[in-house]
Amino acid sequence: MKALTVLFALVVIVCAQTNAQQKITMYKTFGGAIYELNDSVQLSIKQTATILFQNQQAYHEFGKARRYATLSSVMGFAGAGMVAIPVATIAFGNQSDWGLAGGGVALVLGSLLVNQVYKAKAYDALEIYNSSLPQKTSRIQPHLYFYGTGAKLVIKF
């Protein structure tokens, strides 16, 4: 009888653990990415990292991605500031240093490239995490939304 109870408890624990894992999807945007849990609930980067903590390899890869996101943000902000200084100087009627603006443009372009690396690393981390989940046969998910006097149909692939 005790063996049957222990076996039942183990089956419940394994089933609960498998059901606890849910698919995370990433949608790329111009400045970053949007993470969704089961294509319905939006997640922040921190929430995504918390969920990925279950899979250490995916969590480690996502940590690298977050470092690239931070680097991209810092480079973009510094580059925009370096471009803004000569433009503001010209606006106030003084001579400006266009070399500073050139360096700022280079930083902004570099931040765009680093942002692409961030998206690729984050996508790889989610692929590692989602590979352990059971696969669905269809990825098409239609959603019908009603608003005011109209409606819209959103189909996600």
Q: What angle do CA 18, 22, 27 make, to 5 degrees?
A: 155
Ranges of each domain in the chain: 2-156
| pTM for the predicted model, two decimal places | 0.68
| 3-state SS string for the chain | CHHHHHHHHHHHHHHHHHHHCCCEEEEECCCCEEEEECCCEEECHHHHHHHHCCCHHHHHHHHHHHHHHHHHHHHHHHHHHHHHHHHHHHHCCCCCCHHHHHHHHHHHHHHHHHHHHHHHHHHHHHHHHHCCCCCCCCCCEEEEEEECCEEEEEEEC
Cβ neighbours around 69 below 10 Å, total: 21
The predicted pLDDT at position 143 comes to 79
What pLDDT does residue 107 have? Answer: 96
Rounded to whole angstroms, the Cα distance separating 137 from 1 reads 40
The per-residue pLDDT string of the chain (157 residues; one tens digit each, 9 = 90 and over) reads 565 554 444 444 444 444 456 889 898 888 788 899 987 889 999 999 999 999 999 999 999 999 999 999 999 999 999 999 999 999 898 888 888 999 999 999 999 999 999 999 999 999 999 887 776 555 677 778 888 888 888 877 6
pLDDT score recorded for residue 2? 63
**What pLDDT does 154 receive?**
80
CB neighbours (10 Å) of residue 59? Answer: 18
Question: For position 18, what pLDDT does the model report?
Answer: 44
pLDDT of res. 6: 45
Q: Please give the single-letter amino acid code of residue 17.
A: Q
Residue 139: its pLDDT value, please? 62
